Amino acid sequence: MLGMRTASRQRHREEGEKPFWISFSDLMSALMVLFLVAMTVALLAITNEISEAERAKAQREADIDALMARIKEVVRDFPGVTVRGRSVDFGDRARFDTNSHRLLAEQAKLLRALVPRVLEVARDPLGEKWIKRVVVEGFADQRGTYLHNLNLSMQRSQRVLCVLLGKPENDEPPLSDTDRIKIRELFLVGGSSFNALKDTLEESRRIEMKLEFLDLEELRPTPREQSLDENPRCPLD
């Protein structure tokens, strides 16, 4: 009898505990489901962010490729000028004599004809969106010291800006005020001394224009309003 009563009490206690364990198990299952749902939502959000970033990056590259295609169309009208990557190489159309930064009249005329066409590309919606600056890069051959050629290559790139912003020596009209203002906003000069040599001395004495583009979410600096010089004089002269 005693054993039966003991077994009966134990059975009643176990039956009384079952609802608690069932409720606890349901609670844990519900929490696990909520955790999995939260993790799924978080992973989807991260995946969407990565996808959006990749799409934006791909769109930027596509836009830049479209801009460079436009530049290639422009240079087709100027035989001897080529596009390599994101640079415009003037080739033998704008080479310099040994130890000189001066350009011939026909070379200056070429620059004044080509650069406004490039500015048209810079002004279209894609250009306004992505083109950050245009770096005019001067180069020299390997004769002479590095510092001498560094200064010479800088003078060659400066000469290009003098040609574009100054008054032509012949009856050719100067660039428009709109173009000259845009040049001052976008153009910078650089010199590479005798780095990036070409196959010959003559080919090395050259200039190139390198287009640089804004990064994603990079803001364009606000240009300062400045009046144009009425009689611009090149400091190299």
**Confidence band (pLDDT; 50, 70, 90) for 1?**
very low
Domain contains 221: no
**Confidence band (pLDDT; 50, 70, 90) for 198?**
confident
Comparing 37-41, 186-190, 216-220, the range with the smallest average pLDDT is 37-41
Domain tally for the chain?
1
Domain contains 162: yes
SS (H, E, C) 115-154: HHHHHHHHHCHHHHHHEEEEEEEECCCCCCCHHHHHHHHH
Report pLDDT digits (tens) over 48-82: 666 788 888 999 999 999 999 999 999 999 999 99
Domain contains 223: no
Measured distance CA(184)–CA(141) in Å, rounded: 28
Furthest-apart CA pair in the chain: how many Å? 130
Which CATH number does the domain housing residue 191 bear? 3.30.1330.60
Domain contains 48: no
The residue segments making up the domain with residue 134 are 59-213
Q: Which residues have a Cβ under 8 Å from the Cβ of 170 and sit 6 or more positions away?
A: 105
**Confidence band (pLDDT; 50, 70, 90) for 107?**
very high
Domain contains 193: yes
Domain contains 24: no
Whole-model pTM? 0.76
Domain contains 110: yes
**Confidence band (pLDDT; 50, 70, 90) for 19?**
low
Measured distance CA(56)–CA(59) in Å, rounded: 5
